[in-house]
Amino acid sequence: MAGTIKALHVDDDPASTDLTAEFLERENENLSVVSATSAEEGLCRLAETDIDCVISDYDMPGQTGIDFLKAVREEYPDLPFILFTGKGSEEVAADAISAGATDYIQKETGTGQYTVLANRITNTVAQYRARRQSERANRRRRQTLTRITDGFVEMDADFTVTDVNEQTVELTGLAREELIGSNYQDDIVEGDSDASFEEYKHVLATGEARTIEARSDINPNRWVEERIFPTEAGDGIYVYFRDITERKRREQKLQAQTQTAPGRSR
């Protein structure tokens, strides 16, 4: 995983924190370990430093690792937290997971335990960062969708609707609950192929964006312009659409006037 991972190790034994930091940083050059010898100091470190993962002992004076975990979760509900302790029991492990620990590792003799711990930290932080990145992207997309006037529909690879914006609800006259989970081919065009669906399949198969004008599947008396894009992962499509009925009517009226003008065949 690219990028430095800054881990906080909390243990009341300074010799243990020094040894753990040395071996973790030796295992993975991207790991940088900050140490604290009490839960109180650990919370101060968290407030002062950007930490990607917390590693904590269980048996510490004043506050146990579980108490420390609960305090961390009040301020950092999603931050990776690994209980790394010599006090191994099913009860401690169950309490840790129940309190919100990301992982539980029992200390062992030998240096192999640091290889395991380094791998767990790396994998846990990778998942944490990916989840945060996805959440940020979703927030940005949601903010964008609330600002645009176009309707927006997201479909998966089976053309089942997975998301819509409020403009879609207004433009179609259907409730969000009716739209989410419906399948475009089975529930909207009722199994019949139409111009829009053929374009949807083309975009999904080729990854090439398309723009089309077609009659609305919800209201055949209306016309819509649809801009169709593949999703970032290529496992679905995004459809942005807007009502162009008035424009089409003007075009048709102008065409009819042109065809019936004097000197033109009727």
Asked if 194 contacts 214 with a C-beta cutoff of 8 angstroms, the reply is: yes
Mean pLDDT of 147-154: 85
Mean pLDDT of 244-257: 88
pLDDT bracket for residue 62 (50, 70, 90): confident
Write b or e for each residue in 9-40: b if 16 or more Cβ atoms lie within 10 A of its Cβ, otherwise e.
bbbbeeebbeebbebbbebbeebebbbbbbbe
Report the SS3 class of residue 172: helix
For the stretch 177-213, pLDDT in tens is: 999 999 988 877 665 557 788 899 999 999 999 999 9
Q: How big is the chain, counted in residues?
A: 266
| Structure confidence at residue 152 (pLDDT) | 92
Of residues 102 and 185, more confidence is placed in 102
pLDDT above 60 (res 42):
yes
For residue 116, give both structure tokens. Answer: 């395991």
| Structure confidence at residue 266 (pLDDT) | 45
User: Please, what are the domains in the chain?
Assistant: 5-140 (3.40.50.2300), 148-250 (3.30.450.20)
CA 10 – CA 59 distance, rounded (Å):
11
| Structure confidence at residue 88 (pLDDT) | 64
Asked if 6 contacts 52 with a C-beta cutoff of 8 angstroms, the reply is: yes
